[in-house]
Chains A and B, each alone.
Chain A
Amino acid sequence: MTPLLRRDRVFDFLAPPLPPDALLDTRHGPILYLEDISVSFDGFKALDDLSLYIDDGELRCIIGPNGAGKTTMMDVITGRTRPDTGSAWFGSRVDLLRLDEPAIAGAGIGRKFQKPTVFEKLSVVQNLELACHGDKAVWRTLLAALDADQRATVAGVLDTIGLAGHAHREAGALSHGQKQWLEIGMLLTQRPRLLLLDEPVAGMTQEEIERTAELFRALAGAHSVVVVEHDMEFVRSIANKVTVLHEGRVLVEGDMQAVQNDPRVIEVYLGE
């Protein structure tokens, strides 16, 4: 049965559909394959033949000047933007371009937005409950109550993100940094395999940043984490591998030391 479903087989469409999470196959190494992706908006090329691979369990930082295509890349991975050409695979079997946002989220990809987005009128714990893994169909939620497993997850995450003391506050009343943490916490209760984090430490105090770095290092391994960040200090503190995007393509890839000394990167950041 298994060989029939391999992505290199031609007659995949004859096979019965399986639930997406059963399909995640990272035996080849990478958990995310982006190949030759191009996106253009009215002639402006936001992504230009971008190819990128993220390994299972890796913690990867992506940097680049404004307009390099970082957010557009996340849009493509999470199904918000359809690329003009190219392919995007989650593991070696899940074709991301065929799924929409909820299906991609269900398959195990969580995304934090650039601007922290939480449900401001709901309490912190309600935010986490909503994000919690489990059935998200309409009729189930009408009668749903949390099971023990979910309750344990929520309690655990509340501790992890340090908001246990604020569990019943309205999320809208939290500070900017706390909202960032809450959003990260929501991703965690979702139990994703791949986390996409767009500027997760913006607006945080130095202390909060350090705790975030610690958290991300702890997450790597069991999860794959992709961080887009402008804060170089933060990037240096967590990353072993850094990718520099420029004008919609990968400029340089390597460890922080090598990237920082690369003349092309210096040119891009400091200007001609």
Chain B
Amino acid sequence: MCTIFGTECAPFAGMGSRHAICSTLPMHGAATADFTLAGLVVLVVALLVASPAVRAGDDALAAALAGLDTRSFDAKARAVEAIAATRDPRAAGLLQALLDGRLMRAKADDRFVLADDADGGYAITDALSGAVLGTVGKRKLARLSINNALRTQLRGFIAEAALDNPDAATRRAAVEAMAGHLDGDSRAVLDRLRGSEPDARVRAALDTAIALYDLEQGDDDAQTAAIAVLRGSLDPVARGRLAAIAEDPEAPRALQAAASSALASIENRIATYEFLQMVFFGLSLGSVLVLAAIGLAITFGVMGVINMAHGELIMLGAYTTYVVQLAMPNHLGWSLAVAVPAAFLVAALVGIAIERGVIRFLYGRPLETLLATFGVSLVLQQAVRTIFSPLNRSVATPAWMSGSLELNSVLSLTYNRLYIMAFALIVFAALMAVLRYTRLGLEVRAVAQNRAMARAIGVRGARVDALTFGLGSGVAGVAGVALSQLTNVGPNLGQAYIVDSFMVVVFGGVGNLWGTLVAGLGLGVANKFLEPWAGAVMAKILVLVFIIVFIQKRPRGLFPQRGRAAES
């Protein structure tokens, strides 16, 4: 059951990565040597700590670290503060390890070590030098327990350390982590940083964090000003605080009103962004539909040939991508650039073979064409099953296509979808250009309008038919490259798109490429907007039923070709 629009959104599932601060820890001073411990150790922290350079600050750090050897949480808090105060590049890593429970004290020599689970105990490394100390039994180590207050404090310090980072995204993440946990001192620090911060989005995060503090601690004026600042924020903490004030009966009236108005404005913005997100999802699905249908718009729309093997041409394009990646495993980034022309060629050649071998004999008998090309589609499917196995093949996504563009905490656009939308538009524009400005395009249009007349003025009909069909098929292959980045590549890939493709072309109006574009995007958006309240499968069914009814109301689609010739 991979045949529905709904499964399309699976790649979006693991999107939220905002919480993973530890993976964005500062990486400066990274090691150049001693990689032997890799594999068991979390790489990031290990790199930090494995720094071989023993600096002047080493003693200070060691001394501060020693302060952790106490039962009193207050004392530990002071030690943590001292560690942070050293401003040693290793400090953040150590604090993180403490937070994660990996920082321990070896009972034998009282030295601090980083411990990782290993067979028969812990694999330990020296906390300061990073030297590998082998594996010891669990009994030989003493845990350094921490409580919640300490945890909060640790997070704050780790974040503060991150504020020095040259990478703006890391700084912003640090600020966002600190927001809501500030004290007077750190507010002052942030205020100072605010003045010198070059990045606008980090500045906005700083404003939010400071405003959150003011909202809690400031006087009335500061609070009102803070609310004004928070009005534009999408931060969930800010929303929570504002909601608390708006519902707090003790709060001053004016403040309460300001808070609820700010809250309403925030909800409004969130709704807008969520709407935009839906539109994006819809357009992205729509561009997939357009890609799948645009080749059909040529073969069916312009030539009037019902090609039921169209889906299998898409599938061939996807398999071409797979083969190209197998052939060049070390240049994944370039594989797609090679796959696009390769897929075009493969699908176009197969398409021309189908046209010359089967369809040519069946012009003017659309129902027979439908049946024969369906037979071809069965053969192609089974051929792929025999050559590549019936199982799905996974096609890798190059690095430049993974990840997402986070515009704010609500709206984030995945790169692969963005690229595919752009790609769909490029393919569409290229096809329009070919039809409008090239000799082939002219001949195609001539044959489509009046075959006999076109032949009379010297257009070679058979050649044009073959090339047109090749063009439409090639575009289907190119669509397959794009689809390989979104769904599983398997023998049934094509079947999932054939009904949709026909629906898009017929809905848009046969013989009208613009209609196909509008219909594809429109159906994509409609589908995504129906999904939340109807469910993915039901949304798809509703869209299908809508089209079935629509075609019966307007058999010639959204943008029909009118006139006497069109009706006979």
Complex: A71 Cα to B563 Cα, angstroms: 12
* Chain A positions 46-88 with a Cβ under 8 Å from a chain B Cβ: 46, 71-72, 75
Shortest CB distance A271–B (Å): 21
Q: Mark A124-166, 1 if CB is under 8 A from B, else 0.
A: 0000000000000000000000000000000000000000000
Q: Which residues of B contact A72 (CB under 8 A)?
A: 564
* Chain B positions 521-568 with a Cβ under 8 Å from a chain A Cβ: 562-564
* Chain B positions 471-499 with a Cβ under 8 Å from a chain A Cβ: none
**6 A-B pairs whose Cβ atoms sit less than 8 Å apart in the complex:** A41-B562, A41-B563, A42-B563, A44-B563, A71-B564, A75-B564
Q: Mark A22-45, 1 if CB is under 8 A from B, else 0.
A: 000000000000000000011010
Q: Which residues of A contact B564 (CB under 8 A)?
A: 41, 46, 71-72, 75
Shortest CB distance B566–A (Å): 8
Q: Which residues of A contact B562 (CB under 8 A)?
A: 41-42
Shortest CB distance B559–A (Å): 11
Q: Which residues of A contact B563 (CB under 8 A)?
A: 41-42, 44
Q: Mark A207-234, 1 if CB is under 8 A from B, else 0.
A: 0000000000000000000000000000
Q: Which residues of B contact A41 (CB under 8 A)?
A: 562-564
Identify the closest chain B residue to A43 (Cβ): B562
Complex: A42 Cα to B567 Cα, angstroms: 13
Known: A41-B563, A44-B563, A71-B564; 7 extra A-B contacts, CB below 8 A, are A41-B562, A41-B564, A42-B562, A42-B563, A46-B564, A72-B564, A75-B564
Q: Which residues of B contact A46 (CB under 8 A)?
A: 564
Contact residues of B with A, CB < 8 Å?
A: 562-564
Complex: A71 Cα to B564 Cα, angstroms: 9
Contact residues of A with B, CB < 8 Å?
A: 41-42, 44, 46, 71-72, 75
Identify the closest chain B residue to A44 (Cβ): B563
Shortest CB distance A134–B (Å): 29
Q: Which residues of B contact A44 (CB under 8 A)?
A: 563
Complex: A44 Cα to B564 Cα, angstroms: 11
- Considering the complex of A and B, which 5 residue pairs feature the smallest CB-CB distances, nearest first? A41-B563, A42-B562, A41-B562, A42-B563, A72-B564
Q: Which residues of B contact A75 (CB under 8 A)?
A: 564
Shortest CB distance A43–B (Å): 10
Shortest CB distance B562–A (Å): 5
Q: Which residues of B contact A42 (CB under 8 A)?
A: 562-563
Shortest CB distance A77–B (Å): 15
Complex: A75 Cα to B564 Cα, angstroms: 10
Complex: A41 Cα to B564 Cα, angstroms: 8
Shortest CB distance A40–B (Å): 9
Identify the closest chain A residue to B561 (Cβ): A42
Shortest CB distance B264–A (Å): 50
Complex: A46 Cα to B564 Cα, angstroms: 9
Complex: A71 Cα to B568 Cα, angstroms: 12
Identify the closest chain B residue to A69 (Cβ): B564
Complex: A151 Cα to B551 Cα, angstroms: 43
Identify the closest chain A residue to B563 (Cβ): A41
Shortest CB distance B514–A (Å): 15
Identify the closest chain B residue to A71 (Cβ): B564
Complex: A4 Cα to B562 Cα, angstroms: 40
Complex: A193 Cα to B564 Cα, angstroms: 27
Complex: A72 Cα to B563 Cα, angstroms: 10
Identify the closest chain A residue to B565 (Cβ): A41
Complex: A72 Cα to B567 Cα, angstroms: 12
Complex: A75 Cα to B568 Cα, angstroms: 11
Shortest CB distance B102–A (Å): 75
Shortest CB distance B365–A (Å): 16
Complex: A71 Cα to B562 Cα, angstroms: 16
Complex: A253 Cα to B564 Cα, angstroms: 26
Shortest CB distance A227–B (Å): 20
Shortest CB distance A101–B (Å): 13
Shortest CB distance B447–A (Å): 21
Identify the closest chain B residue to A75 (Cβ): B564
Complex: A230 Cα to B462 Cα, angstroms: 35
Shortest CB distance A83–B (Å): 14
Shortest CB distance B208–A (Å): 57
Complex: A42 Cα to B562 Cα, angstroms: 6
Complex: A44 Cα to B562 Cα, angstroms: 10
Complex: A144 Cα to B416 Cα, angstroms: 66
Shortest CB distance A191–B (Å): 28
Complex: A7 Cα to B272 Cα, angstroms: 58
Identify the closest chain B residue to A114 (Cβ): B568
Complex: A44 Cα to B561 Cα, angstroms: 13
Complex: A42 Cα to B564 Cα, angstroms: 11
Shortest CB distance A128–B (Å): 25
Identify the closest chain A residue to B560 (Cβ): A42
Complex: A42 Cα to B563 Cα, angstroms: 7
Shortest CB distance B504–A (Å): 23
Complex: A85 Cα to B506 Cα, angstroms: 30
Q: Which residues of B contact A71 (CB under 8 A)?
A: 564
Shortest CB distance A81–B (Å): 8
Complex: A46 Cα to B563 Cα, angstroms: 9
Q: Which of A41, A44, A71 has the most CB of B within 10 A?
A: A41
Shortest CB distance A72–B (Å): 7
Complex: A249 Cα to B133 Cα, angstroms: 104
Complex: A11 Cα to B442 Cα, angstroms: 57
Identify the closest chain B residue to A41 (Cβ): B563
